[in-house]
Amino acid sequence: MENNQNTAGSMKAAVRSRYGPPEALSVREVPMPTPGAREILVKIHAATVNRTDCAMLTGTPFVYRLFIGLWKPKQATTGTDFAGEVVAVGDAVTAYRVGDRVWGFDDIGLSSHAQYAAILERVAMELIPDKINYEQVVASAEGAHYALNFLKKVKLEAGQKALVNGATGAIGSVLVQLLKHRGLHVTAVCGTPNVERVRALGADKIIDYLQGDFTLDDERYHYVFDAVGKSTFGKCKPLLARGGIYISSELGPYSQNLFLPLFTRFFSDKKVIFPIPFNIKHSLQTMKKLLEEGRYQPLIDRHYALEDIQEAFRYAASGHKIGNLVVKF
Ligand SMILES: NC(=O)c1ccc[n+]([C@@H]2O[C@H](COP(=O)([O-])OP(=O)(O)OC[C@H]3O[C@@H](n4cnc5c(N)ncnc54)[C@H](OP(=O)(O)O)[C@@H]3O)[C@@H](O)[C@H]2O)c1
C-alpha cells in the first residue's frame, strides 16, 4: 500500500446502528478505515447532507432497503458523496495516486460523513479540476445526477418551453441551468425569498408559489419537471402542450408515476416519464466539464461542522433547503 498517512488510530464519524430520525445519528470516535487492495483512503474535505442521505438515514421508501440493508443499515456511517484528497491506495489500485484530489457519489452510500473513508476504486469518482474547490465540486453531484437523468429521457430542442417546479432544490437548481444551456425557455417555480436567486440561475420567467398556483399559468409547455414532487400529472396536464411530457422526482399518490408512463403512452397525447437514475460516472463527468468551463454554478445554502450533522439532516429532511448543505471537515 502506497501511503503518506498513518492509517492506524481513530477518526470522527457520524454513525448510527438503526434506521431512524436525525437523533439516531451521533458523532463518535471510530477506528480509522484501512484501505483494501482495491480501495483508496480519502481524507474528506467536504460532503453534503442531501435527500438521498435522508432516505438512507430513515430507510424509506422501504424498497430502498433492498440495497442498503433490510432491517438495519449495512453501513453504520452515513454519507453518499465526498470531495477530498487521496492519502493511501491499495496495492491493486491503478487509477488513483496519493495526493490526487477526488470527488464521488454513490446513491447506496459511501460512509463519507467521516474524516476519512475507504472507497473502492470502481466507485463513480473523478479527479477534481485544479481551479475548482472541494465545496463547489461536492455540491455538483447528487442533485445534478438526478437532474441529468431527467434530461436523458427527453429530446430537448432549443426554443422549447419547460417549467421547473421546485427550482430552488438540489435537483431543480441544476435543471434550470441545464435547460438554459440547451436553449430552452425556462419558467421556474420557487418561493418569494428565492426569486432573485433563481433568476440568477438563468430562469426566463418566475412563478412564486407562495403568491399563486403555478398550474393555473396560461403558458403551454413542452415539459413540466416537478423536481420537488409536490404536484401530480393530473394537476399539471393543462400546462402541457400536445405531445408534452411530465416528469416528477417523486412517485406521487399511490405510486402513480410508476404506472402513468405505460397508461399515457397508449391513451394520452400528453406523456408521463419516470426516470430510474443510472450511470453516476457519466453525470460526474458532465458536471466536471461544466464546472471547468464555468457554465454551472452550484447553489449552496448552509455549511456545517461534522459535530452539527444532526441539525443538517433535520434541515435537509424539512424539504426547504436551497440547493446544497455542505459539511466541511
Ligand atoms: N427520484 C429520485 O431518484 C430522487 C432522488 C433524490 C431525491 N428525490 C426527491 O426529489 C425531491 C427533490 O429533491 P431535492 O434534493 O431537489 O430537494 P431539496 O433540495 O430538499 O429541495 C426542495 C426545494 O423545493 C422547494 N419547495 C418546497 N415546497 C415547494 C412547493 N410547494 N413548490 C415549489 N417549491 C417548493 C424548497 O424551497 P422552499 O420551501 O424554501 O420554497 C426547496 O428548495 C425530494 O422529494 C426527494 O425526495 C428523488
Per residue in 239-266, pLDDT (tens digit) is 999 999 999 999 999 999 999 999 999 9
Supply the DSSP string of 16-27, one letter for each residue. -SSS-SGGG-EE
Residue 112 DSSP label: -
Q: Rounded to the nearest whole angstrom, what is the distance from the C-alpha of residue 3 to the centroid of ligand 1?
A: 41
Using the atom order of ligand 1, give the atom closest to the CA of residue 248. Answer: 1
The whole-chain average pLDDT of the chain stands at 96
Mutate to test the pocket of ligand 1, among 171, 224, 299, 313 (most ligand atoms within 8 A of CB): 171
Residue whose CA lies nearest to ligand 1 atom number 22: 169
With 0.85 as the threshold, say if the pTM is over it: yes
Task: Output the pLDDT for position 11.
Answer: 98
Which atom belonging to ligand 1 lies closest to the Cα atom of 173?
16
Ligand 1: atom nearest CA of 149 is 3
Does pLDDT of 303 surpass 80? yes
Distance of CA 10 from the midpoint of ligand 1 (Å): 36
pLDDT of res. 259: 96
Strand partners, 327: 47, 304
Average confidence (pLDDT) over 118-146 = 97
| Tens-digit pLDDT profile for residues 205-219 | 999 999 999 999 999
Atom of ligand 1 nearest to the CA of 322: 43
Nearest residue (CA) to ligand 1, atom 18: 169
Atom of ligand 1 nearest to the CA of 165: 33
Q: How many helices (H) and strands (E) does the chain have?
A: 10, 16
* Closest residue to atom 17 of ligand 1, CA basis: 169
Query: What does the pLDDT look like over 157-181, one tens digit per residue?
Result: 999 999 999 999 999 999 999 999 9
Whole-number pLDDT of residue 213: 97
DSSP annotation of 70 reads: S
Does pLDDT of 89 surpass 60? yes
* 3-state DSSP percent of the chain in helix, strand and coil, to 5: 30, 30, 40
pLDDT reading at 5 higher than 80: no
Pocket around ligand 1: residues whose beta carbon is below 6 Å from it?
Answer: 50-52, 143, 146, 165-166, 168-172, 189-191, 209, 227-230, 249-250, 277, 319-322
In this structure, which residue's CA is closest to atom 48 in ligand 1? 249
d(CA 101, CA 94): 15
The pLDDT, as a whole number, for residue 63 is: 92
Q: Given this model, what pLDDT does residue 2 score? A: 66
Give the least confident one: 2-11, 97-106, 288-297. 2-11
- Specify the pLDDT at position 227: 98
pLDDT band with cut points at 50, 70 and 90 for residue 155: very high
Give the whole-angstrom CA distance, residue 272 versus residue 146: 17
Closest C-alpha to ligand 1, atom 12: 228
Q: What percent of the chain shows pLDDT beyond 90?
A: 97
User: In the predicted model, what is the mean pLDDT of residues 222-237?
Assistant: 97
Atom from ligand 1 closest to the CA of residue 275: 1
Per-residue confidence at 285, pLDDT binned at 50, 70, 90? very high
Give distance in angstroms: CA of 166 to centre of ligand 1: 6
Question: How many angstroms is it from 228 CA to the middle of ligand 1?
Answer: 4
The structural domains of the chain, ordered by start, are 2-142+280-328 (3.90.180.10), 154-273 (3.40.50.720)
Residue 7: predicted pLDDT: 55
Q: What is the mean pLDDT of residues 23-46?
A: 97
| Cβ atoms within 10 Å, residue 238 | 12
CA pair distance 144, 202, nearest whole angstrom? 16
Residue carrying the nine cell digits 424498497: 63
- Provide the pLDDT confidence category of residue 295 given band limits of 50, 70 and 90: very high
The predicted structure's pLDDT at residue 8: 66
pLDDT of residue 3: 65
Please give the distance, rounded to the nearest whole angstrom, from the Cα atom of residue 110 to the centre of ligand 1: 22
Q: What separation in Å is there between the alpha carbon of 27 and the centre of ligand 1?
A: 27
Distance 36 CA to ligand 1 centre (A): 37
The number of the ligand 1 atom at minimal distance from the alpha carbon of 166 is: 34
